[in-house]
Amino acid sequence: MRRNAMGLHAVSLLAILFLYGPILILVLYSFNAAHLSMAWRGTTLKWYAALLHDEALLEATANSLVIAVVSTIGATGLGGLLAVGMEGMPRRRQQLLEGSLVLPLVIPEVMMGVALMLLFVMVKMPLGITTVILGHIVFNIPLVTIMIRTRLRKLDPALREAAADLGADAWQIFRYVTFPLLRPAIWGAVLVAFTVSLDDFLVTFFTAGPGATTLPLKVYSMIKSGVTPEINALSALLLLVSMGCVALSLHLQRREV
């Protein structure tokens, strides 16, 4: 029995190393003083400082933040309204809508990117930041809706029934009972949508136009000339922001209300 437990622990450790080993190497080499060599030449922070003086990189960062913030607001608003609206629908219609929401999450992202690009071309909408934002809203709505719907299912209906018995109308029930209870799920959905938008490459690649370069697209263009510590530093910062948002999202979703 003890030998089996040790074997399971060893397999678990190998799996963790396989998942996080490359990430640790990337972060480690972002501090390497060598420019084009993989050999360790000492520790430095100059690659992080160099990011602050790269105008193209700063522009890509600004584009990514604008796209992530606007698309997150749009997806959260639309997804939240959809999640709450589904509560009043018949059970069969709810299941149909839930099934349609899962579809964008399981189809290959490259297909969604191509489909969105063709749609924008058909309606003669110039590709740029606006089309990227619309694309990000499309793939974030299912995430937001599913997360809020999960929270809604856990709410005690007796709380809303008690508010109605005390004379509250539908708006007051939502404002003073439902919304406060949904707040952790909403904040969690906001952070997940922001993270997914900030990190997205495929949909952005197909829907972006001139002047709409984001951080993932910038990293892709930089890596064509070889992996440098500057790219490692940028990737490490993106990783840090993404992991922070996901960790905060999980924390908010687990909070007791």
Q: State pLDDT tens for residues 44-72.
A: 777 788 777 778 888 888 888 899 999 99
Q: Is pLDDT at 257 greater than 50 in this prediction?
A: no
Q: What is the pLDDT of residues 161-197, one digit of tens each?
A: 787 777 777 788 787 778 888 888 888 888 889 988 9
Question: What is the number of alpha carbons within 13 Å of residue 61 lying toward its C-beta?
Answer: 13
- Split at pLDDT 50, 70, 90, the class of 132 is very high
Q: What is the pLDDT of residues 85-100, one digit of tens each?
A: 887 777 888 888 877 8
Q: Is pLDDT at 120 greater than 70 in this prediction?
A: yes
The owner of tokens 């997804």 is: 79
> What pTM was estimated for this model as a whole?
0.79
Quick one: which of 198, 194, 207, 157 has its CA closest to 178? Answer: 157
